[in-house]
Amino acid sequence: MSETAKLTLEGKEIELPIVVGTENEKAIDISKLRGETGYITLDYGFKNTGSTSSAITFLNGEKGILRYRGYPIEQLAEKAEFLEVAYLVINGELPTKDQYDAFKKAITNHTLIHEDMRHFLKAYPRGAHPMGIAASMICSLSTFYPESQDSNRSEEERNLTIHRLLAKLPTIAAWSYKFSQRHPVVYPQNKYDYCENFMHMMFSMPTDDYTPDPVIAKALNKLLILHVDHEQNCSTATVRVVGSSQANLYASIAAGVTALWGPLHGGANQAVIEMLENIKKDGGDIDKWIAKAKDKQDPFRLMGFGHRVYKNFDPRATIIKKSADEVLEALGVDDPILDIAKKLEKIALEDEYFIKRGLYPNVDFYSGIIYRAIGIPTEMFTVMFAMGRLPGWIAQWKEMRENGEPIGRPRQVYTGENERDFIDIANR
């Protein structure tokens, strides 16, 4: 008989099954708890609650380990292409050469978006945040491909939606930027690979054809890989919960994009650069900003610092910090913001407040510095995160549907009024 946990409630002892994962991660299965005892578990922010079992990403926050389908992030970031990693997380295995060629071809075939969708872009006000545009445009794709609204379709039809999403998000992202600048959009070109094509759509002008720089395309490839998946974070959990209602993939991904937008999640990369700019404008007094971050009366937090699961270091941040130095050097960019970031990191890492709470730079601390160096405007940073995270969201949605998981529906402890009689408006 497998091991169980014993729980004593109101003098009665009940046994709860223990579930052990392939990396020896342990969980107590409480799914029958309410039925047998009337109790539920309470865990604000799901800090200690597993919502599913998953074979996609393994993460050990204490040891700073991150693996997609068993492959260490360090190896993937160094050796793989973004679409290769996308194939890996979505399908479970690295593609053979033939499989990879077919996958890339399928994606290249769908990079255009419907011309009518281009007209939507005209209606957004100048300076509209590209995350708002991206979420709406992704959701709108479901209306252009109405068959996708049946999420119980065949594998082949589902793959078509997956290819369309991967192909069209860079176009949507680049076009939302072009429209925000009131510049004409640039159409995708099939001669380019995924990252080059995005840079081409972002930076080519009708009068001046941009040639993607290999240093930039390589840096972008690495950044996207580092963002591909991160198990049950806020946006991914959102995608799974929305998808569990059998909402279509486009709608589920749009929900993930909106969850990512917040500054405590993917929006942190934009917030980090804005913070570093503010520190610079304010005279660069780092001690003052560290003190603000520690002051519980002050809402300011050190953006790009801290993580729900990493308490020693974020392996993605280690790779990105090194890459930031390399990219800036290769491009000959001297960004004073990088010096401020490094000083801030050094002081924070020696400070008792940050040490005690296990607060370290996360993936977003240095990513914005690379995005800036390669010419991506600050408001686009979180869209870049979304482009990287897209394969992970798709893989998680697919896994949840293939496992036939039930609709996500947490419980609550009610703390409102007890029953009372309605009072007529004249007597209130």
Among 257, 266, 248, CA closest to 141: 248
Q: Which of 64, 212, 304, 391 binds ligand CMC (CB under 6 A)?
A: 304
Q: What are the φ and ψ backbone dihedral angles of 104, each rounded to 5 degrees? A: -65, -40
Cβ count within 10 A of residue 366: 27
Question: Which of 233, 248, 252, 258 forms a contact with ligand CMC (CB under 6 A)?
Answer: 233
Residue carrying structure tokens 């360090």: 74
| 194-203 vs 82-91: helix crossing angle, rounded to 10 | 120
| 357 scored as a contact of ligand CMC (CB under 6 A) | yes
Q: Are 392 and 228 in contact (CB under 8 A)?
A: yes
Residue 49 burial (CB count, 10 A): 14
Stretch that binds ligand CMC, among 27-35, 107-115, 239-247, 302-310 (CB under 6 A): 302-310
Which CB sits closer to ligand CMC, 364 or 399? 364
Cβ atoms of residues 205 and 366 within 8 Å: no
Q: Which of 67, 200, 222, 265 binds ligand CMC (CB under 6 A)?
A: 265
- Residue number with CB closer to ligand CMC (174 or 303): 303
Binding segment for ligand CMC among 7-15, 77-85, 86-94, 306-314 (CB under 6 A)? 306-314
Q: DSSP letters along 83-103, please?
A: HHHHHHHHHSSPPPHHHHHHH
Distances (CA, A) of 67 to 20, 45, 80, 177, 315: 18, 24, 13, 32, 10
Interaction of residue 307 with ligand CMC, rule CB under 6 A: yes
Neighbour-count burial for 97-109, b at 16+ CB within 10 Å, e otherwise = eeeeeebbebbbe
Residues 54-93 that bind ligand CMC (CB under 6 A): none
Complex with ligand CMC: residue 221 or 233, whichever CB lies closer: 233
Determine, following the binding rule CB under 6 A, whether residue 303 of this chain makes contact with ligand CMC: yes
CB 69 within 8 A of CB 228: no
Contact with ligand CMC (CB under 6 A): which of 293, 340, 370, 384? 293
359 lies in the site for ligand CMC, by CB under 6 A:
yes
Among 301, 330, 377, 379, binds ligand CMC (CB under 6 A): 301
Which segment (88-96, 280-288, 319-327, 355-363) binds ligand CMC by CB under 6 A?
355-363
| By the rule CB under 6 A, 316 interacts with ligand CMC | no
Residues with a known catalytic role: 307, 364
Q: Which residue is nearest to ligand CMC (CB)?
A: 306
Among 67, 158, 178, 230, binds ligand CMC (CB under 6 A): 230
- Phi, then psi, of 187 in degrees rounded to 5: -80, 150
Binding site for ligand CMC (CB under 6 A): 45, 230, 233, 264-266, 268, 293, 301-308, 357, 359, 362-364
